[in-house]
Structure formats: structure tokens, C-alpha cells
Homo-oligomer: A and B are copies of this chain.
Amino acid sequence: MFRFKPIGYVRSPYTSTKEIPKGLGAEHKAEGTLEILPEFEAGLADIEGFSHLFVIWIFDRSQGFELLGTPPSDNRPHGVFATRSPRRPNPIGLTVVELLRREGTRLHVRGLDMLDGTPILDIKPYLSSVPTESLRRGWLAEAEARKGK
């Protein structure tokens, strides 16, 4: 058993999961801030140089988990580890955001898909990408093909 404490909280325009774009072709363009607790401010030094960040956070309003579930992007069930479902054994979320600017302990970012008030566990620089030509997207590519997208 491992214990974690938030390093800060997300301020986003979303107060209900219904407002968050989901499913095929969903685009996350929402802007907001990552508000880091003052005691961790020194850990943000030099973060301004990165265009994109990984944010590791908690689905704090999700309850329980299901190992097989049908995501909004398909009408067939898939294993939870092959989806981004919030109902996970460890309810941890991962989002790549674009860093717009920093103001002290506030990181202004674009690409949020979390609810307002979401606890943040960690932030890391996004350093490299998998080249598009070597990426396979499993059931999601198939679901898109079936829907003619």
C-alpha cells in the first residue's frame, strides 16, 4: 500500500463529467490552471522551458472500478487497462497539457480534461513522442473505422 498527497489542484472550466468532451474525435482545448501548493514552488524552477507537460492526477470523484467496460468511443466492452476509464483499480489519471505560461505557483495550461478541484500528484516534462508511423491504436482505430471516421 502506497500513500500520496496532492501537490496541488486543477482549476478547470468543468464542474461535471458531462461537460468534458469524450469519445471519438473528442478534442481537449480547455484552458485553466494547475495550482501548485506554495511549499512545492521551488520544484517548478525551469518548467517554463517545456511546451508540454504530463500531469498525473486522481479521479477523486470516481467510485469503485470495473475490469471490463464500454467506453464512450465504442459500443463494445474493453479491458480497463486498454481504456482511459475513470473506474480503474487505482483511479489515476494522466493528461498531456500545453504549458502557456507560469505565474508563480500557477501554471496556465491548455488541454485540460479534468474536473475543477482535481488533486494533482505529479508533473513531469513531456520529452519525446512515439513517431506516428509506429503507433497502433487497437480497438480505438477499429471503432473509428466502423463509424466511418
Q: Is the CB of B58 within 8 A of A43?
A: no
Copies of the protein in its oligomer = 2
> Chain B contacts of A60 at CB under 8 A?
2
Q: Is the interface of A mostly helix, strand, loop or mixed?
A: mixed
> Chain B contacts of A121 at CB under 8 A?
2, 90, 92
Q: Which 9 A/B pairs are nearest by Cβ-Cβ distance?
A: A49-B138, A45-B79, A129-B129, A51-B136, A42-B67, A43-B67, A43-B80, A81-B123, A50-B138
20 A-B pairs within 8 Å (CB atoms) are namely A3-B3, A42-B67, A42-B79, A43-B67, A43-B81, A44-B79, A46-B79, A47-B79, A47-B81, A49-B136, A49-B138, A51-B136, A81-B125, A84-B125, A92-B121, A125-B137, A125-B138, A125-B140, A126-B130, A129-B130
